[in-house]
Structure 1
Amino acid sequence: MPTSIEDLPEEMLLKIFSHLELDDRKTAGTVCRRWSTLALRCTDLQLEVDFRGPDGEDVYHRVLLASSRPYKHLVFYFGYDYAKCELLLHILARFASTVDTLKLLPNNFVPVEIEFLAKIVALCPNLKRLHVDACTFQNQSDVEVKIPPMNHLSDLYLENNLLDLREFDFRDVTPNITGLHLQIGYYSQRPQQFLQHIGPRLKELEVWFLTEDHFPSVCGMNFPLLEKVNFYCVDSSFDDCHTIEQLARFFQQCSKLKEATLRCNVNELVLGSMSQLCANLQSLCLSIEELSEECFLYLSELRSLKRLRIEDARIHAPDPNFCRPFKKLVMLTLYSVQIDDPSKFNRFACISFPVLATLELLHVCCGMNQATMFKFHSIICSSLLYLERLVLHESEKFLDLDLFFYFATLTKLRELRLKFRGLTDYICPYDTNLVFVRNLILDVVLINDACLLKLLELLPEVKRLQLSSVNGCSADGIRAARERLPLCDISVKRRVRIEERLS
């Protein structure tokens, strides 16, 4: 008897399903009972429950309470109607035996009784990740509320006053945290005390500094195991020598650091310290006013760097021979940047990023007109011959489809993600199409049926088209597109989400 896919063990089927998009998993789940169980059992699937709308309660009573899927990741949205919290507990109890990730996302500054959090923790004794956002916790009863120990909790996200409450000490109920995300504000010292207590065992740290005064003290704490750090500090500057010294000391103790996000206006001296002390750094996100030639020189000394994101910067690209090539850099993201000399940057990128596979250009054309933006995109994209994934976001501008003809040299390109205000349907009479592109994600406000069909003429081998638009194509246009490419999976993005991939 020949071997079929039904002979594969569950572990192998789960591995296969984990590579599929959510809609494809749901389709696979209709094949048979076995596939229905396995296709949606993957650990990166999360259930989103939204109580903020008028119709949500009946839907969740009818659908979720009857569900047999063992969800591990739950997200609850709720507003000011505190009565909905009881329904939330009812639904949570339905999945409590399997849940290990829980996110509570209310409207901003919703008052929440601390007893409500205690009930949630009691329902989920195996909780590993807890995300509590924008709650104002309070205790209006005379009874002392105790939070049960969360011995399995490894990741904690707090954006509220929970650590400021004196009714209990969070250090006593979270003995095994290795990942912490929190705010440090103006008044209380308790978040800093909590951070200092658990710092020696943290592997991941994310801090929003509501005032930069606390920044040096946090940098002076002990984090010997830290692998990932995110610092957010609004309107900070590093002109103070003491602050720079503290930050250098912080990097000196973080020999295991692999990922860093510094949205705190770093400068050349900080990058110089990182280049000497962070030999294992693989991913870096920087918010910086001026990205000078010296900055590129320091960045090129990070020999393990694979992913680089630059935000809110004016970029002065160096000559290609000024610094070493970024031999391991596979992903580059430019967000809200201004490039002083696009042609020079293009020459630099072509030589200095020899293995770049993903390029994301997100609002990089600040101060440029439409023609200059078009020229910049076309030149830089056509120069990166190893590019596999290209993301272009210019939500206030129109995309001229002539730009696609400049992609013809990118024979390794497999995915395009485009977000523009609209598409212009004029196409030059070139005999060119991008037979190598397989995935197209198109997010536009203005697009018509004729423009969509002309776009598909350029992409005859595309296998997946995800379309999201406000004033978009008609049903007849979508139907014509599917007839034009019968082997292409064409979908219109849903506006209402219940299940999505874990973020």
Structure 2
Amino acid sequence: MTTTTNLECNFTLSVRDIPNEIFEKVISYLNVEDRKIASLVCRQWSLFAFSRKALADVLLEINCAQHSAKDYWVVLEKSSRNYRNLVLNFADDDDGCLLEILGKFQHSLKRVSIEQDQDARLLHTEISSDYFVQMMERFRNLKNFEVKTVFEILDNEEKRLPTLPFLETICFYTHGLEKEWFNWFTIAPNIKCIGVPLEDGKSGFPKIINDCRQQILHLSIDARFVERDQLEFCNEKFPRLQKLRLLYPISLPASIETIRNFIGNCSLLTEISLFSNVIHSDTLETIANHCSQLQIVNFDANEISPTAFAIISKLPKLCQLILHKMTVDSAMITAAGCFSMLHQFTCLSIRINVPDAFFEQLRKKMPKLVTLELLDRFRFGINNFNQTGVVQAICNNIHSLERLALVDWAILDTSIFGSLHKLNLITDLRLKCIGLNADKTIPPCPTLKRLILDIDSLKPTDTIPPISRPPIADVICKSFPNITTLELRKTFLDRTKISEQEVKSLRSLMPRCTVYRKTRLKMADKDYTALL
């Protein structure tokens, strides 16, 4: 005897039933404009669109070079949002409204960056010592303080400055805050990270570094405008230093020797970035022999020793290597040992000679490589990825790749990705270029899960003679049938008449795929890290 029981469950789900942590994760993908729109839907959406966690990624920008501080105060006076990050462009604060704004958010502010308006490059910010003290009193909870503009204290009257117990990072790209009565070690007793420029004609460290050198973990020195070979600061020792960024145009042998000795005394380094005209083999040997804890190496040079790979392959813990502005070939890799731990390789604006041979050696010498990022050296369609055969060489040789990012100043042809399916472990692909000529389909790449198209537009439709192309939705659907995340530039496709139809088609053809549209930074040399 069999008994059949039919159970019927009648219930409905709504957005309100989504767990809070999932909702906050969804909100994190939206830019500020979209968050504002979402916050108007209902009280729940408003709370999560600008919750404390969500505000970790939001910048409050106050530009007093364009609007008065009073205008901002009228808007922000009744705000209930706990802003954590502030970018401040200010020329004056006659009414004290800026101090009112800083006072309102002083309990939540964690990062403040004082900058200059892009349209007022000669802007010179001058304040009194009294005003500076009042401003610092509102920074008591700061963890990160940056000054990226000409910022001067008008008088030299000695004042008692408040203590900033939580401040860990200070970056000064100006010399206005180097007063005799500023004892930064007393002001910020827990400082760990310092970034400073060096003044022309001076050989000593800024006072803030001398005061804090015993506890500094991260030091960044920008000396690109210093008169060459007058740096004799490297005699100081930093017993706890873990990260070093040194931008300095080395030329004389004496300077090279001084910097070598400095690096040789930093045995705890886990990350080093050198930006110089030439990086000599002696400097590389010092790094390899004395900095065995290094995990990240970043070289930006017009010329580097041919033995560079052979030397730095001695680093047992190296996991990320970044190269800028140099020419590399297969012979440099052939002579190197095995990079046993290296999993991420980034090439920014470098020339790769004989790509097939180069990437074949890369496969042999970097067996754990899973992330490859390339920014093409040549601009505006001159000898770019379309012509060099780099993409084909990657697909033929580096089958272990899981993440690939390609940045080019050109309109790329989809035909160069004809062998992408050979990367049978790839899950993430990022393309950043001026345009995409999608006149051909790509053989299916079933392993790809995440695709980022940071592209200005498709190839213009007014090309003479006219070029017909399949809809971008069809190209993506057929080439990447299993993607679950697709990210498009916010303005992508907007130059075509069928832009929204394309996005709608994508969503209908790939119902399991989440489609995002984000605002991206413009291409610029200074944005290397942002590009990738």
**Smaller-chain TM-score bracket:** 0.7 to 0.9
Mapping of 1:358-377 within 5 angstroms?
358-365=371-378, 369-370=383-384, 373-377=387-391
> Structure 1 residue 204 and structure 2 residue 218: aligned?
yes
- Aligned match of 2:135 in 90, 113, 120? 120
Give the Å deviation of 1:100: 2.3
> Structure 1 residue 194 and structure 2 residue 208: aligned?
yes
Q: Secondary structure at the match of 2:389?
A: helix
> Structure 1 residue 332 and structure 2 residue 345: aligned?
yes
Over residues 261-315 of structure 1, what are the superposed CA-to-partner deviations in whole Å (9 max), with x where a residue is unaligned? 1002322111111111111101111023344541110111111111111011121
Over residues 36-63 of structure 1, what are the superposed CA-to-partner deviations in whole Å (9 max), with x where a residue is unaligned? 3597322742423142675797984565
Give the Å deviation of 1:427: 0.8
Aligned twin of 1:479? 501
Asked if structure 2 preserves the Cα contact closer than 8 Å seen for 1:317 and 1:348, the reply is: yes
Asked if structure 1 preserves the Cα contact closer than 8 Å seen for 2:256 and 2:283, the reply is: yes
Aligned twin of 1:499? none
Q: Secondary structure at the match of 2:206?
A: helix
Asked if structure 2 preserves the Cα contact closer than 8 Å seen for 1:288 and 1:311, the reply is: yes
User: Which residue identity does 2:116 align to in structure 1?
Assistant: P
* Structure with greater proportional helix content: 1
Over residues 306-348 of structure 1, what are the superposed CA-to-partner deviations in whole Å (9 max), with x where a residue is unaligned? 1111011121332765322212112111111112332221211
Over residues 4-32 of structure 1, what are the superposed CA-to-partner deviations in whole Å (9 max), with x where a residue is unaligned? 9999998xx49984995345995998787
Over residues 74-117 of structure 1, what are the superposed CA-to-partner deviations in whole Å (9 max), with x where a residue is unaligned? 22234x4x248843322222211122221111234422204433
Residues 72/212 of structure 1: CA separation in 2 closer, same or farther (3 Å cut): same
Residues 33/19 of structure 1: CA separation in 2 closer, same or farther (3 Å cut): closer
Unaligned runs of 5+ in 2: 1-12, 462-468, 522-529
TM-score normalised over the length of structure 2: 0.79
- Aligned match of 1:341 in 354, 357, 380? 354
Aligned twin of 2:450? 438
Give the Å deviation of 1:372: 6.4
Aligned twin of 2:61? 49
TM-score normalised over the length of structure 1: 0.83
In structure 2, what is the Cα distance between the partners aligned to 1:35 and 1:452? 35
User: Which residue identity does 1:490 align to in structure 2?
Assistant: V
CA RMSD, 1 decimal: 3.8
- Aligned match of 1:36 in 35, 47, 71? 47
In structure 2, what is the Cα distance between the partners aligned to 1:257 and 1:192? 22
- Aligned match of 1:390 in 380, 394, 404? 404
Aligned twin of 1:465? 487
In structure 2, what is the Cα distance between the partners aligned to 1:305 and 1:166? 41
Q: Secondary structure at the match of 1:318?
A: helix
Greater Rg over alpha carbons, structure: 2
Asked if structure 2 preserves the Cα contact closer than 8 Å seen for 1:292 and 1:315, the reply is: no
Asked if structure 2 preserves the Cα contact closer than 8 Å seen for 1:335 and 1:361, the reply is: yes
User: Which residue identity does 1:363 align to in structure 2?
Assistant: D
Mapping of 1:296-307 within 5 angstroms?
296-307=309-320
Asked if structure 2 preserves the Cα contact closer than 8 Å seen for 1:443 and 1:468, the reply is: no
Asked if structure 1 preserves the Cα contact closer than 8 Å seen for 2:203 and 2:230, the reply is: no
- Aligned match of 1:295 in 285, 290, 308? 308
- Aligned match of 1:231 in 238, 243, 246? 246
> Structure 1 residue 105 and structure 2 residue 130: aligned?
no
In structure 2, what is the Cα distance between the partners aligned to 1:21 and 1:360? 23
- Aligned match of 1:91 in 78, 96, 101? 101
Give the Å deviation of 1:196: 2.3
Unaligned runs of 5+ in 1: 497-502
Residues 475/219 of structure 1: CA separation in 2 closer, same or farther (3 Å cut): farther
Give the Å deviation of 1:378: 2.0
Over residues 244-264 of structure 1, what are the superposed CA-to-partner deviations in whole Å (9 max), with x where a residue is unaligned? 332332223212111111002
> Structure 1 residue 153 and structure 2 residue 167: aligned?
yes
Q: Secondary structure at the match of 1:223?
A: coil
Greater relative contact order (Cα < 8 A, sep 6+): 1
Q: What fraction of aligned residue pairs are identical, expressed as a percent?
A: 20
Q: Secondary structure at the match of 2:422?
A: coil
